[in-house]
Amino acid sequence: MNYAYIDPGTGITIATFSGWLIAALIALAGLFGVFFKRIFRFFKNNKKLMIIVIAAVVIGIIITGIVMNKKEADFDKKIIIIGFDGLSPGIVETMMNEGKLPNFQRLRETGSYKRLSTTNPPLSPVAWTGFATGRNPGKNGVFDFIVRDPKTYSLSLSLSNFKGGKPRRVIKSTNFWEYTSKKRIQTIILGSPVTFPPDKVFGKMLSGMGVPDILGTEGTFSFYTTEKEKKEKDIGGTVFHIRKSTIIVSHLIGPKKGISGRKAGNVKVPFKIIPDQDNNSATIEFQGHEFILEQGNWSDWKNVSFDIGMGREMAGILKFYLVEARPEIKLYASPINLDPRAPYFPISYPGEYSSELATGIGLFYTQGMPVDTWAVNENRLSEKPHLEQLNEVLREKKAMLDYELDRFDNGVLFCYFESPDIAQHMFWRYIDKDHPLYEEDAPQEYKQLIPSWYKKMDSILGEVMEKIDEEDVLIVLSDHGFNTFRRAVNINTWLRENGYLELKDPYAESGGELLNDIDWSETRAYSIGFGAVYINQEGREKEGVVKKGDEKELLKEEISRKLKDWIDEKHNKPVVSEVYSGEKIFSGKYQDRAPDLYIGFNIGYRASWQTALGAVPGEVIEDNIKKWSGSHLFDPALVPGIILSNKKISKKDPSIYDITPTILKQIGYDNESLLKLDFDGAPLF
């Protein structure tokens, strides 16, 4: 890349010769004046020609501007970042030392390997936003999966934000791909979390975690069954009880459709299930599709279209899995994903990029969290179809990476793999003998499943390493580690038992979700998300009762002290490792949105699903009997991630906040420029 530079010495030289230079310029101006005077007279007598020439000049300027604007920077190396969600240092280091991760081991020996400090809290959307921005939640605005509006106590998800029916950007800070795009460096971003809607980049972006299904949720499955069941609440899906018949008619549930004068209702597409018990199969028919599905098999992708009024249609794709054909019908329908060939909401930049990918690699999951873990948690799907889906999601992401690497000559490329995180969430119970769901005689495949997924990541790394040159930069990282989740902690119940929270009915055994049953006039603290505690502050919360200042700070100290002294009587173990004050771990423009306290749990303990949604269950601590048995929502000091690079990492204790400054240093930013950008990290090299 060429730079123009004038140093002080050059300035003196220019001043010395300025006299004769000025005289020469005046003479030239006189000659040009005579010439342009004649040109002006000519065009004055030929007005049409003058208009044509002026138009041509304007068009030429516009075209030149577009061409110049599209011109790539003179950046001739590759920076490739691979994100493997949730790889644990303990497992990686053991397997490297045993020779079971040869590519990780080779990269450690020829470059660098270190443990990587994660964010506080160590949640995937928080961590990957910290990775992409180089800034803490107080600066980027992403604190947890769940956020609350203190003025109303209403809860919402942090991964996506819709206003007026349109998706709005969630991250409040600048991502590294915006800096690379500003410098006109080719940038490819595949599936980075919290990127819905996609940013405009100088290159291509496919949105990741945060892309909703067609219902606008993070993923709602449908389950159709003829079996009579106890009425239990399903969290992750909708169960339809259907009658046995030679032809069963039901519906696929689509987005809501507003009708003038009526409450909006979901659009429904009828479909038929024709059981064939003799052949353990069923024929499924809808919208021109007719296919036979055998028991224990997935269908391929099927497209479906929903009429949402005003001449508009919303296109989706889904898969079916026939759980059982006899004696009962049990049919699973995946969350309906936005069709990448014609997504109703933007899921890529440019807009046609998702369609290009679908043409290049085939249809793929567009939903930001593609693997349906709740269907397994609620025993609608077993481990077999879950693993098949997990492998399919990995195959799709690998195909996207290969598609781009094959034509990637220079620039910055990031690809995110969620699969190892999901595998550990759902299969940790097979490696922890002290977990409530541990099975001594479980299939060996399941007991070895987590190490097998680390090997799959190693294989991907090996292929990437073959496609880089010595001057290129390769960074491989996980956002946090992993460990066992044995006991579910109901924080609001603990707050109630310790006199900090009251229910509207003081005699009720429990309180419902969404903070609905809390008596705010008698409540000083409450919890939502996965460890966040908020003081019911006067003037901030709608019905706050705790004064800001000394009263609030003393209350925070009291709650923190009691939490750190909390012992699980069943196992005689401390529940909490550390309690962090929001003012100390979050800083920046959005610090006022931060929790007042954040609980760092000891390994084995995690905030319950009920706590996340603001409920107050009857028990303070319960055994975790869900298949979601591994977690990373512990004290961040206990679950660091990992980082490897083909370059030597000079920083002693690298942090996930260091990645963005490292990328910017590689593309030409100097130390002074990086300091002005107010990062919470620094370059690694």
Residue type, 447: K
Mean pLDDT computed over 403-432: 98
pLDDT at 64: 43
With 80 as the cut, is the pLDDT of residue 323 above it?
yes
d(CA 476, CA 80): 8
Please state which of the ranges 252-261, 425-434, 497-506 shows the lowest mean pLDDT: 252-261
Torsion angles phi and psi, residue 521, rounded to 5: -70, -20
Please state which of the ranges 15-19, 85-89, 95-99, 281-285 shows the lowest mean pLDDT: 15-19
DSSP 261-295: TS--EEEEEEEEEEEEGGGTEEEEEETTEEEEEET
- The pLDDT tens digits for 523-554 are 999 999 999 999 999 999 999 999 999 999 99
pLDDT at 7: 28
- The pLDDT tens digits for 555-589 are 999 999 999 999 999 999 999 999 999 999 999 99
Both tokens of 286, joined, read: 């809808």
d(CA 359, CA 361): 6
pTM value > 0.75:
yes
Angle at 659 between CA 656 and CA 660, to 5 degrees: 120
Q: How many CB atoms lie within 10 A of CB 443?
A: 11
What is the overall mean pLDDT for the chain? 91
Note the Cα 232 to chain centre separation in Å: 30
Both tokens of 101, joined, read: 């991760």
pLDDT at 264: 81
pLDDT at 56: 58
pLDDT at 30: 46
Does residue 582 contact residue 529 with C-beta atoms inside 8 Å? Answer: no
Mean pLDDT computed over 207-224: 97
pLDDT at 258: 73
Q: In terms of pLDDT, which residue wins out, 398 or 27?
A: 398
- The pLDDT tens digits for 72-129 are 788 999 999 999 999 999 999 999 999 999 999 999 999 999 999 999 999 999 999 9
Considering only CA atoms, which of 610, 635, 584 is closest in space to residue 526? 610
Please state which of the ranges 11-20, 168-177, 225-234 shows the lowest mean pLDDT: 11-20
What separation in angstroms does the CA of 432 have from each of 484, 556, 581? 7, 35, 32
pLDDT at 37: 52
Q: E-strand spans in 352-497?
A: 411-417, 473-477, 483-489
pLDDT at 48: 61
Q: Edge-to-edge, what's the strand order for the sheet holding 641-645? A: 112-116, 641-645, 473-477, 78-84, 411-417, 187-190, 203-206, 348-349
User: Is 96 in a helix, a strand, or coil?
Assistant: helix
Q: In terms of pLDDT, which residue wins out, 55 or 272?
A: 272
Confidence of residue 27 (pLDDT cuts 50, 70, 90): very low
Does residue 420 contact residue 453 with C-beta atoms inside 8 Å? Answer: yes
- Taken as a whole, the chain contains a residue count of 685
- The pLDDT tens digits for 232-278 are 677 789 999 999 999 999 999 999 997 655 678 999 999 999 999 99
With 90 as the cut, is the pLDDT of residue 614 above it?
yes
pLDDT at 262: 66
Please compute Rg for the chain using Cα positions.
Answer: 30
d(CA 24, CA 322): 87
Confidence of residue 462 (pLDDT cuts 50, 70, 90): very high
Buried b / exposed e over 523-554, threshold 16 CB at 10 Å, is bbbbbbbbbbbbbbbeebbeebebeeeeebee
Does residue 355 contact residue 383 with C-beta atoms inside 8 Å? Answer: no
pLDDT at 4: 29
pLDDT at 409: 96
With 70 as the cut, is the pLDDT of residue 68 above it?
no
User: Is 154 in a helix, a strand, or coil?
Assistant: strand
d(CA 159, CA 449): 29
d(CA 520, CA 502): 7
